[in-house]
Amino acid sequence: AQSGTVAADPQQYDQAYLSPVTIGNSQLMLDFDTGSADLWAFSNETPASESVGHAKYDSSTGTELQGYSWSITYGDQSGAAGNVYADKVVVGGVTATKQAVEAATSISTSFSDNTDSDGLLGLAFSSINTVTPKQQTTFFDTVKPTLAKALFTCDLKQGNAGSYTFGYIDTSKYTGSVTYVPVDDSQGFWSFTAGGYSVGSDNATSGSVGVSIADTGTSLLYLPAAVAKAYYAKAGGKFDNQQGGYTLPCNGNAPDFNVAIGGKTFVVPGSYIAYAPITSGSQTCFGGIQANTGIGFNIFGDVFLKAVYAIFDVSQGAPRLGFAAQ
Ligand X SMILES: O=C(CCCl)NNC1=[NH+]CCN1
* Residues taking part in catalysis: 33, 215
Nearer to ligand X, 78 or 265 (CB): 78
d(CA 190, CA 123): 9
Task: Please list every residue from 150 through 209 that binds ligand X, using CB under 6 A.
Answer: none
For the chain, the farthest-separated pair of C-alpha atoms sits apart, in whole angstroms, at 59
- Does 215 engage in binding with ligand X (CB under 6 A)? yes
Task: Please list every residue from 263 through 292 that binds ligand X, using CB under 6 A.
Answer: none
- Does 71 engage in binding with ligand X (CB under 6 A)? no
Describe the chain by its helix, strand, coil percentages, rounded to 5.
15, 45, 40
Q: How far is the CB of 64 from ligand X (least distance, A)?
A: 25
Report phi then psi at 60, rounded to 5: -65, -20
- Does 50 engage in binding with ligand X (CB under 6 A)? no
CA distance readout (Å), 81 to 16, 24, 39, 102, 122: 21, 20, 11, 8, 14
- Does 105 engage in binding with ligand X (CB under 6 A)? no
Q: How far is the CB of 191 from ligand X (least distance, A)?
A: 10
How many Cβ atoms are within 10 Å of 108's Cβ, its own excluded?
A: 17
Nearer to ligand X, 138 or 218 (CB): 218
Choose the stretch contacting ligand X; rule: CB under 6 A; options: 6-14, 152-160, 212-220, 229-237: 212-220
The burial of 200, by beta-carbon neighbours within 10 Å (0-12 exposed, 13-18 middle, 19 or more buried), is given as middle
d(CA 309, CA 256): 18
Which value, to the nearest 10 degrees, does the dihedral of the CA atoms of residues 143, 151, 309, 267 take?
120
Question: Which uninterrupted H or E stretch holds 260?
Answer: strand 257-261
- Does 262 engage in binding with ligand X (CB under 6 A)? no
- Does 300 engage in binding with ligand X (CB under 6 A)? no
Site string for ligand X, 30-49 (x = CB under 6 A): ---x-xx-------------
Taking only Cα atoms into account, the Rg of the chain, rounded to an integer number of angstroms, comes to 19
Applying CB under 6 A, which of residues 15, 69, 71, 78 lies at the interface with ligand X? 78
Give exposure, 113-144, as e/b (b: 16+ Cβ within 10 Å).
Answer: ebeebbbbbbbbbbebbbbeeeebbbbbbbbb
Choose the stretch contacting ligand X; rule: CB under 6 A; options: 151-159, 193-201, 210-218, 306-314: 210-218
Q: Could you give the 3-state DSSP secondary structure of residue 263?
A: coil
Q: How far is the CB of 187 from ligand X (least distance, A)?
A: 9
Nearer to ligand X, 289 or 324 (CB): 289
Beta strands per DSSP E along 92-150: 94-107, 119-122
Nearer to ligand X, 122 or 270 (CB): 122
Which value, to the nearest 10 degrees, does the dihedral of the CA atoms of residues 72, 74, 79, 80 take?
-30
- Does 119 engage in binding with ligand X (CB under 6 A)? no
- Does 75 engage in binding with ligand X (CB under 6 A)? yes
Nearer to ligand X, 17 or 174 (CB): 17
Choose the stretch contacting ligand X; rule: CB under 6 A; options: 73-81, 139-147, 202-210, 252-260: 73-81
- Does 76 engage in binding with ligand X (CB under 6 A)? yes
Nearer to ligand X, 239 or 297 (CB): 297
Nearer to ligand X, 112 or 179 (CB): 112
Applying CB under 6 A, which of residues 40, 74, 174, 246 lies at the interface with ligand X? 74
Amino acid in position 278: I
Interacting residue ranges for ligand X, rule: CB under 6 A:
33, 35-36, 74-76, 78, 215, 217-218, 299
